[in-house]
């Protein structure tokens, strides 16, 4: 787990975030704690999904389906807000590494651990399939190893088998290469047998340290899953026979999850796990992880040292110990009719100094005509009031999941030298008089330099982050500069501005998405204008896909 960066949110919904557990293609996962002290794992989806109506519908249904799963060997869904500007879901937190991390750190697992692992996962899948659900993404990173047994997590792409029309795009396979079943790869009907295939691949990985199918690319890997036999030469005995049966190409030839669990643990998975099922190094790792989580700083100030009681303890044997309000349990009963009402509790937990607290309760405003389009990350959410803390303006709250640490381009352009300014802040021609008469074919000095400021879309009603641009002295048809757009969750889109027209009162440029932008950026060319307003530059855009953003940019000294 990594500590929170200063630009990451301190709270999501009712949960205080303590650190980042990891990230994936769907979002980032944080360790959180409720006001009552319960530790949870909070997944926040990638912000560019937020305005995708199809994704929201699927996410809402999947959360409802996941809440139905609450049996043994699964991490239950405790809370969620699929209608938040950026949807999130909270599940019970389990102290323990993923199977992928455990095998990477310590190597293949002992045979008795693999048997207990397989029995627990098979029992979990039995319960899931009885609810009419298919997990669809059983893989090592979705299996946690805890002292109490394995846990199957992340039902984010589970789908009811008796559902109506598919909410995923035609021809799109959902799952992980190397652990997907052949029928998933081929886009055929998916049943619980697909999860059994994935279970066989997971058991092979746990026992050998390698997946049963290997390839240099995703295409080669998928081809092997469909056409080649699994590599099981390093396995032996019953485990090898069971893995081979699970990995059959024909779904009808695979055993049911209940048969797998009976084969591995005739008396149930719990019997194998009782008394210890993990090897020593993993037990030590899990124990240290649990202690670390308990000791995490929540940002709350707690007084140390002995605490004096206002009243002495009273003992009355006739009073039940479980009654918290009975006289004698923890002092006299409270006065139910006080002269003055007690003070109101704080509406929100105190914010951690230096961090931004984000409320995810507001409803997102849809962009007309946005369905099915690739939308810029700058129009994915509004964080009402959250960015006023600490004078942060409209800066990033957390880095995008599709981007590596370090925002290339954001704030990296050097400030160019330009003409001095008068006392009023307006650029001058060097003599103190305003520069209103540019030479033909040159950009007036009032535009030159680096400019930055908050941006908004939808007639200024939706804050969308921070815009930054450096304007160079160029000619028509040349690159005027690059605009970096940093949304409230740290997503960075870069647009290349090509000078199209120049007048004494405005610059008109064509804005085109730069290569290397993440999928949430709008790549379509559109027209923007830069207009002097006092000592600032006003940015306007005709990009309806981005909500026609506007920004007032101040010079960066």
| Complete domains list, the chain, with CATH | 11-94+290-294 (3.30.200.20), 99-281 (1.10.510.10), 377-555 (no CATH)
- What does the pLDDT read at residue 487? 74
Alpha-carbon distance of 361 to 378, in angstroms, equals 19
Question: Between vectors from CA 456 to CA 461 and to CA 348, what angle results, nearest 5°?
Answer: 65
Question: 545: which residues sit within 8 A by CB, 6+ positions away?
Answer: 367, 370, 373, 374, 375, 376, 522, 524, 526
Alpha-helical regions (H) of 178-279: 182-185, 192-208, 218-227, 237-246, 257-264, 269-273
Tell me, yes or no, if 137 is annotated catalytic: yes
Q: Which residues are annotated as a binding site?
A: 43
Q: Which residue numbers in the chain have pLDDT < 70? A: 25, 156-175, 297-441, 461, 488-490, 519-520
CA distances from 556 to 112, 271, 419, 531 (A): 63, 66, 14, 17
- What does the pLDDT read at residue 342? 52
- What does the pLDDT read at residue 33? 92
- What does the pLDDT read at residue 145? 95
CA 399, 494, 86, 489 torsion: positive or negative? Answer: positive
Task: Please give the full DSSP string across 442-469, using - where no structure is assigned.
Answer: S--GGG-EEEEEEEEETTTTEEEEEEEE
The single-letter DSSP state of residue 153 is -
Alpha-carbon distance of 365 to 380, in angstroms, equals 9
- What does the pLDDT read at residue 217? 83
- Parallel, antiparallel, or unpaired for β 15-23 and 27-33? antiparallel
Q: CA-CA-CA-CA torsion for 219, 225, 227, 228, nearest 10 degrees?
A: 110
First to last CA, the chain: 38
Give φ, ψ of 293 to 5 degrees: -65, -40
Alpha-carbon distance of 468 to 461, in angstroms, equals 20
Are the C-beta atoms of 114 and 37 separated by less than 8 Å?
no
**pLDDT tens per residue, range 41-71:** 999 988 778 778 888 888 888 888 888 887 7
Alpha-carbon distance of 329 to 314, in angstroms, equals 7
- What does the pLDDT read at residue 331? 43
The single-letter DSSP state of residue 74 is B
- What does the pLDDT read at residue 227? 94
Alpha-carbon distance of 494 to 468, in angstroms, equals 10
Alpha-carbon distance of 54 to 290, in angstroms, equals 38
CA distances from 194 to 257, 437, 482 (A): 11, 72, 47
Task: Please give the full DSSP string across 33-47, using - where no structure is assigned.
Answer: E-TT--EEEEEEE-G
**Which of 7, 52, 79, 137 is flagged as catalytic?**
137
Q: Which residues are annotated as a binding site for ATP?
A: 43
């Amino acid at each position: 787990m990594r500590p929170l960066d200063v630009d990451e949110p301190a709270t999501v919904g009712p949960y205080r975030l303590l650190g980042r557990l990891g990230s994936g293609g769907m979002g980032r996962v944080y360790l959180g704690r409720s006001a009552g002290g319960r530790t949870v794992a909070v997944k926040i989806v990638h912000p560019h999904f937020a305005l995708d109506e199809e994704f929201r519908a699927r996410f809402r249904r999947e959360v409802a389906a996941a809440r139905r799963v609450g049996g043994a060997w699964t991490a239950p869904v405790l809370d969620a807000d699929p209608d938040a500007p950026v949807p999130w879901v909270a599940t019970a937190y389990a102290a323990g590494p993923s199977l992928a991390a455990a095998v990477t750190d310590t190597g293949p697992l002992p045979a008795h651990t693999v048997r207990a692992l397989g029995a627990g996962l098979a029992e979990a899948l039995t319960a899931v399939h009885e609810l009419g659900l298919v997990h669809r993404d059983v893989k090592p990173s979705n299996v946690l190893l805890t002292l109490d047994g394995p846990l199957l997590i992340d039902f984010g792409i589970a789908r009811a088998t008796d559902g109506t029309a598919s909410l995923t795009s035609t021809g799109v396979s959902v799952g992980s290469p190397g652990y997907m079943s052949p029928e998933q790869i081929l886009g055929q009907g998916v049943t619980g047998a697909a999860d059994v295939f994935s279970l066989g691949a997971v058991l092979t990985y746990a026992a050998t340290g390698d997946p049963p199918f290997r390839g240099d690319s995703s295409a080669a890997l998928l081809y092997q899953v469909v056409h080649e036999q699994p590599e099981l030469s390093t396995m032996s005995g019953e485990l090898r026979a069971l893995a081979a049966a699970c990995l059959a190409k024909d779904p009808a030839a695979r055993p049911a999850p209940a048969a797998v669990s009976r084969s591995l643990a005739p008396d149930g998975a719990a019997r194998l796990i009782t008394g210890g099922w993990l090897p020593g190094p993993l037990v030590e790792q899990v124990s240290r992880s649990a202690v670390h989580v308990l000791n995490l700083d929540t940002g709350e100030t707690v007084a140390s040292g002995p605490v004096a009681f206002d009243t002495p303890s009273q003992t009355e044997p006739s009073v039940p110990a479980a009654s918290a309000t009975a006289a004698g349990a923890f002092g006299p009963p409270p006065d139910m009719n006080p002269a003055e009402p007690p003070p109101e509790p704080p509406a929100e937990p105190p914010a951690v100094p230096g961090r931004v607290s984000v409320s995810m309760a507001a409803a997102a405003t849809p962009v007309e005509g946005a369905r099915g389009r690739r939308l810029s990350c700058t129009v994915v959410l509004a964080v009402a009031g959250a960015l006023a803390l600490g004078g942060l303006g409209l800066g990033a709250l957390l880095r995008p999941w599709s981007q590596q640490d370090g925002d290339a381009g954001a704030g990296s352009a050097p400030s160019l030298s330009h003409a001095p300014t008068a006392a009023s802040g307006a650029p001058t021609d060097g003599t103190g008089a305003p520069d209103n008469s540019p030479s033909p074919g040159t950009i007036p000095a009032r535009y030159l330099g680096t400019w930055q400021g908050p941006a908004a879309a939808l007639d200024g009603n939706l804050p969308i982050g921070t815009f930054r641009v450096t304007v160079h002295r160029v000619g028509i048809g040349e690159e005027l500069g690059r605009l970096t757009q940093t949304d409230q969750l740290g997503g960075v889109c870069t647009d290349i501005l090509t000078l199209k027209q120049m007048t004494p009162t405005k610059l008109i440029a064509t804005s085109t998405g730069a290569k290397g932008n993440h999928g949430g950026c709008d790549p379509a060319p559109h027209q923007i204008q830069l207009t002097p307003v006092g000592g600032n530059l006003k940015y306007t855009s005709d990009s309806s896909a981005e909500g026609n953003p506007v920004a007032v940019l101040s010079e960066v000294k």
